[in-house]
A and B are shown apart, each in its own frame.
Chain A
Amino acid sequence: THDLQNVLCSWTTASATDLGLSYKFCYGLRYSSPVCEKTQDNRAQMTLNSFGTTFVGIETFNSSANLISKNTFRLREENISYVPITPQIRNLTANSSARTLNLEWNYGGLLVPFDMDATWQIRILRKDPIETVALETYDSKLPGNTATILSWSWTSDIPLECTTHYAQIRCYLHLEVFSGTKTWSEWSPLAKMPGQDTGSLIKMFPVDEVAQVGTNLTFCCVWKRGQSFKKIGYSNYSAALSPPVRLSNWSAVIYVQNANKSIEAGDNAWCEVDPGDFTGTTTFVGYPPDTPQNLSCETSDFKEITCEWKAGRPTNLYSAERRTNYTLFESISGKNVTYNGKENPEYYRCNFLVLNNQRIYNFTIHGSNPLGQSESSLLININYRVHPQTPTALTVINNSPTHITLAWQLSGNLMPIMLQCLVRINSGGAPEDLNVQLNGTENLTYSVSIDKLRPYTKYVFQVRCSAIEPFFWKWSRWSENKHHTTLEAP
């Protein structure tokens, strides 16, 4: 039975030839009058009686309508097989770049009177002569009395363009309530995904692929009717190449095991056919982005936060289409910035505008290239990440024999923090350091008075600043030297 309602019966006859035979098929319960039908075929249909015995009688007549035999059978549910209706592939699509075949089929409705588990087997075939290249099993649940659309996808080991692929499906329904034997449905008709090996063009696939080091590559060549295949070559001569495998009249494939890094412009696979035709493709073998390393973010002026990081292992993939693209996300504000600086610097840097009234920043640097993606995160309070710029424009004011005021500029609005500045006083002997604490200002200018100097003496002053503890993060660079000679004593 296909539907737990009707039972399809078929039988065989002992006679050598069935010519001219006809049958009278009757079925019924023990005490009910039987239902009969005459048939030329050796098959008939009856209603499924799930909870009792069905009595079946088959009378065989020869071509002269003489009764030649009479057989009776007692059938219970256990004696009947449940064969699900053959599923039909509704839609077969291909994603060539991902090399995936996507199957879609629907099932259920009246065929599935109540919720049940189902197992599907999907067979992928190709080549000429056709052969099975994949047999995959897929389990699902089917809701009762509801037509369900199911889908499944398969990733091919070769580019789908290389040759025509076919898909077939069958199912097995886990019908606990049915006590008879349960079997697989028939295989569905073949669904076809044509390849490019139609004899109308010469080309290699995949075209300009990006692959990961260590994976196995496949290159196929399709050629024109009337041409004959000679060879497929690969420019990475250290690679382990399989001999070419014919897929069909106009298609052959080679496999490269455990691919290693390609040259910057990509390794080449080429195909030679007679008479004198030639085509090829380029492939770039590299790595997905490594986890961004040494992610560090700081501000020098409370206007911009500069994040920097290192890429880690080189990907060996270059150019706009293949290099690693980085984006800096900040999850609290939801804003992001894309890196668009130089390719492959030692340090990558991105600037992120400081946002009003936001001190805490949750940064994630996200890197992606055609082979994958990776990210690193960092949570900071920018008050604790102040790295002042180099002090500039050192000038001496209020000059006297033993006392001066040293002024300098520090760019950026550092109002939010207290600074500490280290003034290095050098007059030939061991330098002396003066540590002063200053309020951060908006107008860039800072100064400190220095006394107990020796009159008429040459001094060299330098300054560097940082946030005070506990906000210390990094010292600025030392300023330029400021040379000054104190006035003579009166």
Chain B
Amino acid sequence: MAAARRSPGSSPHHTDLCCRTVLLLRKMRADVSRLLEAYVEKQGLDKNFSLDLVDGVPTASTEQWSEASDAERLGDNLKAYWAFQTLLNEILEEQRSSLTPNDLDFHESIQSVLLQVSALAYQLEELMVMLEHSVPAKELEGIRGARERGLFEKKLRGMKVLQELAHWSVRSVRDLRQLSKPVQTGAIPHVSCCLALKK
């Protein structure tokens, strides 16, 4: 088990917040995976459906991952989880009103993930402020075109949201660990982020 390395300028509070965020991410990842499985079954979908054409969902994969600055890393994460909040709310409303109106347990599991995403966004924002990064503006614009979509498109979209959310929860852990990496120059404080914890 690797010892927690402390970089210059990182306070125990940073580390604690970062640890809590990583723990939350791990829990969320497990919950999202279970939810995705239930979602695919309850919507009568096939997990091998190609979702490439479903747009409007933040994608975790990015070419510039390794060159991103800490501010960009955290900022991208924060914007993604803000978007997921809106998307998960939309999914929950679709399930309640039209697709599975009687499946209250299912709605609760969506709600639970939604709460975790909200908590995650809050913690990431707090971390950015603490690390003196400028917090990106929150785009409150609703996702366009929701009303015209047929139910099948809505189902696919929900599947894509949960798939990408699962990917993001992995990326975010790596992003936070990337913050911990000591940088040769620059005065921006770093944070030591639970390196001792299991991946």
Contact = CB atoms under 8 A, between A and B. Distances in A.
B100 A264 contact: yes
A265 B97 contact: no
A276 B53 CA distance: 9
Interface of B is mostly: loop
A279 B102 CA distance: 27
Interface string A303-344: 000000000000000111101000000000000000000011
A221 to B, nearest CB: 12
A104 interface: no
A264 B99 contact: yes
Contacts of A266: 44, 99, 151
Interface string B8-52: 000000000000000000000000000000000011111001101
B152 A265 contact: no
A281 B101 contact: no
A281 B102 contact: no
Given A264-B42, A276-B50, A318 B150 contact: no
B66 interface: no
Nearest to A265: B99
A320 B98 CA distance: 7
Given A263-B42, A276-B52, A278-B49, A268 B101 contact: no
Contacts of A462: none
B130 interface: no
A208 B50 contact: no
B46 A235 contact: yes
Given A276-B52, A281-B150, A318 B102 contact: yes
B126 interface: no
B97 A320 contact: yes
Q: What 3 A-B pairs have minimum CB-CB distances, sorted nearest first?
A: A280-B152, A235-B44, A282-B151
22 contacts: A204-B152, A233-B46, A235-B44, A235-B45, A236-B44, A263-B42, A263-B44, A264-B99, A265-B43, A265-B100, A265-B155, A266-B44, A268-B44, A270-B152, A276-B53, A280-B156, A318-B100, A319-B98, A319-B99, A320-B97, A320-B98, A320-B101
Nearest to A264: B100
A341 to B, nearest CB: 14
B101 A343 contact: yes
A233 B50 CA distance: 13
A267 interface: yes
B108 interface: no
B44 A208 contact: no
B52 A281 contact: no
Contacts of A323: 101
Interface residues of A, number: 28
Contact of B102 (A264, A268, A277, A321): A264
Interface of B: 42-46, 49-50, 52-53, 95, 97-103, 150-153, 155-156
A262 interface: yes
Contacts of A135: none
A201 to B, nearest CB: 13
A207 interface: yes
A320 B93 CA distance: 13
Contact of B101 (A233, A277, A319): A319
B150 A207 contact: yes
Nearest to B53: A278
Residue of A265, A268, A280 contacting most chain B CB atoms (<10 Å): A265
B97 A319 contact: yes
Nearest to B96: A319
A237 to B, nearest CB: 10
A319 B50 CA distance: 28
Contact of A344 (B43, B100, B102, B156): B102
B155 A268 contact: yes
A262 B44 contact: yes
A116 to B, nearest CB: 50
A318 to B, nearest CB: 5
B152 A321 contact: no
Contacts of A204: 152
A403 B155 CA distance: 73
Contacts of A320: 97-98, 101
A121 B148 CA distance: 40
Contact of A321 (B42, B46, B53, B98): B98
Interface in A198-227: 204, 207-208
A266 B150 CA distance: 12
Contacts of B42: 263-265
Contact of B152 (A281, A319, A344): A281
B74 to A, nearest CB: 34
A273 B53 CA distance: 13
Contacts of A281: 150-152
